[in-house]
Every structure is written in C-alpha cells, then in structure tokens.
C-alpha cells in the first residue's frame, strides 16, 4: 500500500490519478475535507480509504493494517501568508518528522514535499546542494517551517535514505480549493473571462520593471512525474529542486493565458498589498543539476505548453459548466 498525504489536495490528487492510471488502487489518502468542496477532487479516483492527518500515526500502529511500501508526504499548510507559527511548526515540521521517523524504522520509502520558499530572497541562488541548504533564510513562516525539516533531515543524515522535493511554482488542474493560494494561471483565467483584462502587481524594485518579476513555473504533470520517479527508484535519495530550470516573467505568463483563451492581451498593473511587499520573491529559478543527475534530464513542459493544456482541458471546461 502507498500512503499519499494531501491526497485530496492539488499535487496529491494528481499523483493519486497517475497511480490509478498505472493500475494501483491500494492507496490510503490522508487529508482534511471538513465542510469545504475539497471532496470534489476525489471524484474519479480509486483508493482504499481516506483518513484525517491526526489519525494517521495511530493507523500506522494498528496490528491489522496492510503492509505499507511507500509514503508520499505532500500534505501541509502551504499558505505563504500564514502567521500562526506554532501551527506551522506542528503541522509542517514536527508531523513530517514523525512520519519520516516511522517510515525509516519500518523500511518504507519516504518522499516529501519541501518548497522553493525555503530560498528566501534568492541571495544565495537556487542550488539544492547541502552546503547551500545550511545557509538559507526563508522570508515567511511557511518557508521556514519547510526549511526546518530540510535542516533536520540534513543534520541527522536522513538524506542518505529519503527524498525531499523543493517544488517551485506549480500550477494545473484541481487547485480550485486553494482559493486565494491558487496559481496566477487559474486566477488570470477567471479574471480575463470576466473582464477581458488582467491585473498584475507593480514592481517595487528599481531594477525590475512592472511584470518582469520572474518565477520558475512548473506544470503539475511534471511535478507528479518527478514524485513517481523517486517512488520508482528507492536507490535515489537526497534533497532536489523540482523546477524547469528556466524562469519566466509574469508578463510571459499573462501572454500565454490570453493566447490559450484566444483573446488579445490587456494587462494593467496594480499596487501590491503592503503586507506582502517585504516578503515578495522577485526571482526564482531552480538549479536542476542534481535532478538531471538523478535521471530526470528530459525537459519539463514549457510555460506555453502547460498553460495551453491547463486552460483548454480544465479551466475552459470548468467555466462552461458553471
């Protein structure tokens, strides 16, 4: 059995679908559904059960549980604006420690989600080498909670046996439940469909023009393929960036969305909320050297390819049925 935490979430849901396409249905999903519409992400998936995160460690200790071969730990509080440090430490750091400790004690493959938010302002670059990891200073509490586990795994030698993936800006189907934390692709499609225009944040750095802020945008299918690669190859271990290795601007993204929708580009720039200005990343670009050495040398989808696929196969269809 494979356990997927965050199984009703964005990357988790897409991973479960990919495992189903392989014929694997002996899956335990771990997630909180509550009274939200998140349950809709489960439609079309085949799995054994779904339980709450707080019940997982108890389930793992049950004598009658089925054998577990792998844990893909993708569940977390991923809000970059979250300010409850105690919650983030408990949910993103200590919970991951508990799962990793159990997995290693039982010789179970453990692949977990870290984040590009650990790189902070990028002053040290975006290398996933251990020597760089030691020196990183995240800009927000979410990034710090992820960084703490990366450091703990590094200092305790766990990267000789587990895999961490620093996801960059992932976008694609089944992120609707994330609401304000949805990708800009999803938000842009919604805004353009309603108004014909797209608003982007102004730049507050003299050396960066409005719309020239850059990110490493990753289509979710490529993120899932990366997780599968490391689940398939237990001989591989370490901390890896999961990105395209090529940054693109917000204007590039806007142009791609307008093109996919068959509409002329019409972009305006608006003030960035003061609450995020001091913590805003103006540039991210994954160093993919280690990822390529681990066997993932094939290029990821380009921004234009990913946006086209997302808009035409998911967002446009979704809009038409509302």
Could you give the residue numbers annotated as active site? Answer: 142, 178
Residue 294 has which token pair? Answer: 């681990």
The SS3 of residue 257 is helix
For residues 3 and 70, give the distance between their C-alpha atoms in angstroms, rounded to a whole number: 6
Tokens 């089944």, residue located? 174
Q: Which residues contact 39 (CB under 8 A, 6 or more apart)?
A: 8, 33
To the nearest 10°, the Cα dihedral for 89, 92, 94, 99?
A: 170
Tokens 């790189």, residue located? 119
177, 126 contact by CB (below 8 A): no
For residues 276 and 139, give the distance between their C-alpha atoms in angstroms, rounded to a whole number: 10
Of 1, 309, 12, the C-alpha closest to 174 is: 12
Q: Tell the burial category of 215 from Cβ atoms under 10 Å away from its Cβ (0-12, 13-18, 19+).
A: buried
């Amino acid at each position: 059995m494979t356990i997927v935490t965050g199984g009703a979430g964005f990357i988790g849901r897409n991973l479960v679908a990919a495992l189903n396409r392989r014929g694997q249905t002996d899956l335990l999903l771990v997630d909180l559904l509550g009274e939200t519409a998140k349950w809709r992400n489960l439609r079309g998936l085949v799995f054994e059960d779904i339980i709450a995160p707080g019940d997982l460690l108890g389930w793992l200790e049950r004598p009658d549980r089925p054998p577990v071969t792998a844990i893909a730990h993708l569940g977390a509080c991923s809000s970059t604006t979250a300010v409850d440090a105690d919650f983030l430490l408990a949910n993103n750091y200590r919970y991951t420690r508990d799962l990793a400790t159990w997995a290693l004690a039982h010789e179970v493959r453990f692949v977990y989600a870290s984040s590009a938010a650990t790189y902070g302002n990028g002053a040290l670059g975006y290398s996933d080498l251990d020597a760089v990891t030691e020196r990183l200073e995240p800009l927000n509490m979410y990034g710090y909670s992820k960084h703490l586990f990366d450091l703990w795994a590094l200092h305790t030698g766990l990267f000789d046996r587990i895999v961490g993936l620093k996801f960059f800006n992932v976008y694609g189907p089944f992120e609707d439940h994330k609401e304000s934390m949805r990708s800009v692709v999803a938000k842009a499609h919604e805004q353009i469909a309603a108004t014909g225009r797209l608003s982007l944040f102004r730049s507050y750095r003299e050396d960066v023009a409005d719309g020239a802020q850059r990110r490493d945008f990753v289509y979710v299918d490529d993120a899932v393929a990366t997780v599968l690669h490391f689940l398939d190859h237990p001989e591989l271990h370490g901390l890896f960036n999961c990105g395209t290795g090529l940054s693109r601007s917000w204007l590039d993204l806007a142009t791609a969305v307008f093109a996919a929708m068959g509409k002329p580009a019409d972009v305006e720039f608006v003030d960035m909320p003061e609450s995020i200005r001091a913590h805003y990343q103006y540039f991210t670009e994954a160093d993919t050297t280690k990822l390529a050495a681990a066997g993932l040398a094939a290029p990821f989808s380009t921004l234009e390819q990913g946006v086209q696929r997302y808009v035409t196969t998911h967002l446009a269809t979704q809009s038409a049925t509302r």
